[in-house]
Amino acid sequence: MKFATRHISVRYEFEGKPRRKNVWEYPLDALREAIINAIVHRDYTISANVQVEIYDDRIQIWNPGKLLPGITIEDLYKRDHKSVIRNRLIAQTFYDIGYIEKYGSGTIKILDLCRQQGAPSPEFQEGFGGFSVTFRKDVYTEDYLRKLGLNERQIKAAMYVKEKGKITNKEYREINTISRQMATIDLSILVEKAIFIRTGKAGKGIAYQLTKLTNK
């Protein structure tokens, strides 16, 4: 974790409280959970080490040893997936010291932590004789959106969706204090630029989500 925090960026937000809020470009709690999982579930008969690789656009955590029989990559995205433990004594030790809350909940906790920060869902993969978790950088920053030519109303809406998960035409009008027609035009541009995707059926059921942050 010290290695990770030395090589990723952090910004500071002030919300009227005595202490500033540190906002890391990757959710630290999710990174920590992935590293714990890599240590607990790796195959210790393989001489390779757990690896944490940091790139410009992603962080990848890899451990030797593929998933055990009886569980698939698709299962890791399901809340009720089975717990298959390779190293029971190590898992028990991490559970006893409070680093594991519940067996089989690690990947779901990672997904939830990313979702809470509005970060892209991580990718779980098998490859090169091991298992990896890849965290993608959140591209939806205010600076990035301005470079795309979005106006301040649209940027405010994107930040709103990062926090709330979606936005309706009514909510767009409320946060920007504009007419329905202007809101419709703004939202159409966001869809055209592939920042938002439109979901739901015609009428009150229509909402908009960030394209690259839709979760599996």
pLDDT in tens, 88-108: 999 999 999 999 888 767 899
Note whether 161 and 102 are within 8 A (CB).
no
Kindly state whether residues 121 and 61 are assigned to the same domain. yes
- C-alpha to C-alpha distances, 157 to 15, 26, 141, 149, 200, nearest whole angstrom: 19, 21, 12, 14, 18
Q: Report pLDDT for 212.
A: 59
Better pLDDT: 60 or 140 = 60
Question: Predicted confidence band at 61 (pLDDT cuts at 50, 70, 90)?
Answer: very high
State the Cα torsion 103-109-111-112 to the nearest 10°.
140
- What residues have CB less than 8 Å from 1, skipping those under 6 apart? 28, 31, 32, 35
Which one, of 206, 213, 216, lies nearest residue 163 by Cα? 213
Encode pLDDT of 1-12 as tens digits.
999 999 998 888
Instruction: Identify whether residues 93 and 175 lie together within a single domain.
Output: no
Are residue 9 and residue 94 in the same domain, yes or no?
Answer: yes
What is the number of helices (H) and of strands (E) in the chain? 8, 8
* 28 vs 215: CA distance, rounded Å: 19
Where does the pLDDT of residue 215 fall: very low under 50, low under 70, confident under 90, or very high at 90 and above? very low
Please say which residue of 82, 116, 136 terminates a domain.
136
Q: How many domains does the chain have?
A: 2
pTM: 0.68
- Assess whether 58 and 102 both reside in one domain: yes
Q: Which structural domain, as residue segments, surrounds residue 59?
A: 2-136
SS3 for 10? strand
Same domain, 38 and 123: yes
> Is the domain of 52 the same as that of 132?
yes
- On the question of pLDDT at 23 being above 90, the answer is no
| 9 and 69, same domain (yes or no) | yes
